[in-house]
Amino acid sequence: MDTAILLENLISPITLAFLLGVVATLIRSDLEIPEPVIRIFAIFLLLSIGLQGGRELATADLGNLAGAVGVVGLLLVLIPGLAFLVARYILKLDIRNAAGVAALYGSVSSVTFIVARNYADGAGTPMEGYVTGLVALMELGILVALFYGRLALARAEGGTKAPLRTILSETLRGRGLLLLGGGLIIGAAVGESNFSKVEPFFVDLFRGVLVLFLLEMGMTAARQLREFAKVGPKMLAFGITMPLIHGTIASGLATAAGLPMGSAFVLGAVAASASYIDAPAAVRATFPEANPSIYLTSSLGITFPFMLILGIPLIYQITLFWQSL
């Protein structure tokens, strides 16, 4: 991996804000961002990337879109299934906890997507606009993972009472999918002249809000790290290794489908991420017996900081390798 690229990522305001949040929690600082403010930040970031993606989508060359959608469909089956099998048969988790882990790792992290998109821009390989829509589709990995868990329970114990239709409805109404998908449609529909009226707010302020949001994410991740003793070294290995496997598969498939460097990289980085906002709620509703200290600590306490600091640059280099073949 290029040392200069790694150093640039480590000293970026985004990464340093995250690390400052970690330090603030570890030294027990009284620094705190109110929860309503964090929700506003999250809404702003998700809607902003949707709007900007829709704006780019309106003028993008959609020649590779069919192949890209095909790649996402394949990833929706492969990634949750692989995570479930590893959690179930290598980590030796029970079915409910394995399904919980698979749901988080089968879905995506919107924050990781934002950071990867900015990383691609900074490296001079920006993604194409339609990738935002692909990321929204990948939220459906939650459903696939929970379906695998329900299927395994049906064979082992006779199933659960939660109807799959309810899970589907809750996921489709989730804020991540709604804001990304809705913003994408709005951005594509309004046209350049109308978008310019809101551009100072949704584009110019974007990175500043992202820095503040990552400060809070650092504090939250540090609080989850305190639960690491309940997770164990196997989950540490899982939280680092599985993202790299998922990212390698996704970036390779995206490259094979003809996606350019920036788009293939961002798709790979998103596939390597793990949800810690929408997926935990779906897991709690479907498998309340699953232990949050396992799936949430792995996602937020291990995978998220790993991806932010080292994983994204590594996936970029892996994508460069695929693109060079």
pLDDT digits (tens, 9 = 90+) for 103-120: 999 988 888 998 899 899
Higher-confidence residue of 250 and 35: namely: 250
pLDDT the model gives residue 62:
59
Q: Which pLDDT band holds residue 20 (cuts at 50, 70, 90)? A: very high
**How many whole angstroms separate alpha carbon 115 and alpha carbon 307?**
10
Q: What is the mean pLDDT of residues 227-247?
A: 86
Exposed/middle/buried for residue 38 (C-beta within 10 Å: 0-12, 13-18, 19+): middle
Taking alpha carbons only, the member of 140, 121, 114 closest to residue 50 is: 114
pLDDT the model gives residue 199:
92
Q: Is the pLDDT of residue 3 over 70?
A: no
Q: What is the mean pLDDT of residues 52-72?
A: 76
For residues 121 and 8, the answer to whether their CB atoms sit within 8 Å is no
- CA 28 to chain CA mean position, Å: 28
Q: What is the mean pLDDT of residues 98-104?
A: 92
| Ranges of H-type helices in 27-163 | 35-59, 65-89, 95-106, 110-122, 131-138, 141-156
**How many whole angstroms separate alpha carbon 71 and alpha carbon 66?**
9
Contacts (Cβ under 8 Å, ≥6 apart) of 288: none
Task: Encode pLDDT of 251-279 as tens digits.
Answer: 999 999 999 999 999 999 999 999 876 67
pLDDT the model gives residue 257:
93
What is the chain's percent helix, strand, coil content, to nearest 5?
Answer: 80, 0, 20
Taking alpha carbons only, the member of 130, 104, 117, 126 closest to residue 187 is: 130
pLDDT the model gives residue 228:
62
Task: Encode pLDDT of 115-174 as tens digits.
Answer: 899 899 888 999 988 888 888 888 778 878 888 888 888 778 655 555 666 666 666 676
**How many whole angstroms separate alpha carbon 9 and alpha carbon 57?**
27
Q: Which two tokens stand for residue 182?
A: 């809705």
Task: Encode pLDDT of 195-227 as tens digits.
Answer: 899 999 998 998 899 889 888 878 887 886 666
The percentage of the chain sitting over the pLDDT mark of 70, rounded to a whole number, equals 84
Q: Which pLDDT band holds residue 24 (cuts at 50, 70, 90)? A: very high
Please report which helix (H) or strand (E) contains residue 263, including its range: helix 261-272
Whether the full predicted model's pTM is greater than 0.85, yes or no, is no
pLDDT the model gives residue 136:
80
Taking alpha carbons only, the member of 21, 7, 5 closest to residue 305 is: 21
pLDDT the model gives residue 239:
94
Q: What Cα–Cα distance (Å) separates residue 250 from each residue in 86, 98, 214, 247? A: 18, 22, 25, 5
Q: What is the mean pLDDT of the chain?
A: 84
**Residue 226 DSSP symbol:** T
Contacts (Cβ under 8 Å, ≥6 apart) of 121: none
Q: What is the mean pLDDT of residues 243-253?
A: 97
Q: What is the mean pLDDT of residues 176-201?
A: 85
pLDDT the model gives residue 1:
47
Phi, psi values for residue 133, rounded to 5°: -65, -35
**How many whole angstroms separate alpha carbon 113 and alpha carbon 6?**
18
pLDDT the model gives residue 214:
82
Q: Is the pLDDT of residue 8 over 80?
A: no
Q: Is the pLDDT of residue 10 over 70?
A: no
**Looking at the domain covering 3-21+38-324, what would its CATH class be?**
mainly alpha
